[in-house]
A and B are shown apart, each in its own frame.
Chain A
Amino acid sequence: MAELCTHGLSVEAGNQRLVDGASIRLVPGEFVALLGPNGAGKTSLLRASLGLEKKVIGRATIDGSDTAALSPMQRARHIAYLPQQRPLAWPNTVRDVVSLGRYAYGAAPGRLSAEDAAAVDAAIARCDLTALAQRQTDTLSGGELARVHCARAFAAEAPLLIADEPVAALDPRHQFRIMDIIADFVAAGGGALVVLHDITLAARYASRMIWMKQGRIVADGAPEETLTAARMAEIYGVQARVDGRRVEIEGAV
């Protein structure tokens, strides 16, 4: 079973601690929402757990081995990573972009083995892109592009997924579509760690919530336990009404 762990992980930049002693764990079957205000260190924690940050104290492991010591391709076969910035340099076809998800298996656009092609087609179907497969990415809408990036991540067939704000700048319908796609991935035996800013959305989908503030993990547990009016005030500085998994934000404190 795939397992991503961090043990007292800290990330430094200059004299600042972006992440301070964070310990998290992600296994298949979990939909974990990583929450916190801008600058809380969420992205740095994700990058450090993937072994992409330079100045790191503590350990991050995949199935017991250090992520920083794994080759990029080995790591990519365990964890698919959907970063916050998702620029596309060239107007490739949707299928070629999704094919890049097979990079860690030695594939390249236009050079896919039967197994690679099957994984790419499955990812395209899962994200409802079959009709758009031959379209150039510069002709797609933001919602369609978000699905292309999801399909690219799923094409790797990695057991774990780390997604950094996958629904940012999407309309409500597309937000739900992306969340449904990730929920399907979790239902099919995957594990997802997803940074979200929409608490309502997070509370609806997540099986666990990790709350961060100023580089520290403040709480980690089921939405029913960790999502409280007091926590919303503490983390985000907002006044909220919480009822089970339902949240209503009423304004700044």
Chain B
Amino acid sequence: MSLSRLLLPGLIGASILAIFAACLLGSTPMPAGRVLAALFGAADASDELVVWSIRLPRALAAYVAGAALGLSGAALQGLLRNPLAEPGVLGVSASASLVATFSLYYGLAALSPWVLPLAAIIGALIATALIAVAAIATRSVVTLILIGVGISSFAGAAMSLLMNLAPTPFTLSDMINWMLGSVANRSFREIGFAAPFLLAGAVILLASRRGLSALTLGEEAASGIGLDLRRQRILTVLGAGIATGGSVALAGAIGFVGIVAPHIVRPFVGHDPARSLVPSALLAGLILVLADIGVRLMPTTNELKLGVVAALIGAPAFVWIAMRRRALNG
């Protein structure tokens, strides 16, 4: 019980520490005193530039992108009543980055800074809506995951096609960024363009979270205790689509964070989907900031992509969760 009570303060504290650590570490490590001075505007110009223009926005971008994925993952798991549901697994992230890539390929993204986040959100909503429609038609969770795999594969193939046809190496490297997910070179400007969507998605998901608890009983009994099932489906799909779209617009497709964070959080909140939302968001943000610190510190010639690292950690966790689940359900 006391452990559950420490969950939120602990996660908030750890998140702040991790973001601060992200400002300390890098190609030129900076002592804590200088980072603090830079954060509060009392350091020399070069320190301030490193902290405010490079390290802090990058850490914050990783954090909010992760938080949106954790929140969406927890909400989709509640809606589909399945611990394996997640924007990445269900193909939502992949189709968001596909549509975003389209807008890059055809040069639409250059028209307005809003085009890219909107494109990502449209992609995310299409996939989420498909999954939600399939969820009504089929009660089988395996089928849903397979449909997600199908959507992911299709989006991946379409992206490969676009890469094949990419007119310049420049566009090509842009696209790779979207496919693999990265928060390198993000500025507050980009965070600002994703922020309204991240916030809107979060507000929708948090406002409708009580219905996710009701769905614990299954759809039939949930309607019986007073849940408006249709409304709940629409709100969760919309919220998760918008939040995931915002996250993809900021950081590209990053998988599995949305599965790992809720899974760790659940025992601390009594396995209640509604209460898992906020801690899942905080933990997923924390995980991505830590993973991004790892990416930056790893002594490789080409910087690893954040999404690659997340998948390297997350995919085995996904397999583990899936195998344990089978054992439980016989």
Contacts and interface: CB of A to CB of B under 8 A. Distances in A.
Interface of A: 50, 52, 71-77, 80-93, 96-97, 100-101, 103-104, 108-110, 136, 138, 149, 152, 156
Interface residues of B, number: 25
B245 to A, nearest CB: 26
Contact of A86 (B218, B228, B273): B218
Contacts of A71: 226, 228
Interface string B240-266: 000000000000000000000000001
A166 B227 CA distance: 21
B215 A86 contact: no
Contacts of A138: 328
Main secondary structure on B side of the interface with A: helix
A89 B215 contact: yes
Main secondary structure on A side of the interface with B: mixed
Interface string B201-221: 000000000100111111011
B270 interface: yes
Nearest to A108: B210
Given A72-B226, A82-B221, A96-B270, 8 more contacts: A74-B226, A84-B220, A88-B218, A92-B272, A97-B217, A109-B213, A110-B270, A156-B225
Contacts of B275: 109-110
A100 B225 contact: yes
Interface of B: 81-82, 210, 213-218, 220-221, 223-228, 266, 270-275, 328
B216 A89 contact: yes
24 contacts: A71-B228, A72-B226, A75-B226, A76-B226, A82-B221, A82-B224, A83-B221, A85-B220, A87-B81, A87-B217, A88-B218, A89-B216, A90-B216, A90-B271, A90-B273, A92-B216, A92-B271, A96-B270, A103-B214, A103-B226, A108-B213, A109-B213, A110-B272, A149-B221
Contacts of B81: 87, 89-90
Nearest to B82: A89
Contact of B224 (A81, A87, A88): A81
B274 A108 contact: yes
B224 A100 contact: no
B221 A81 contact: yes
Nearest to B272: A109
A245 to B, nearest CB: 31
Contacts of A90: 81, 216, 266, 271-273
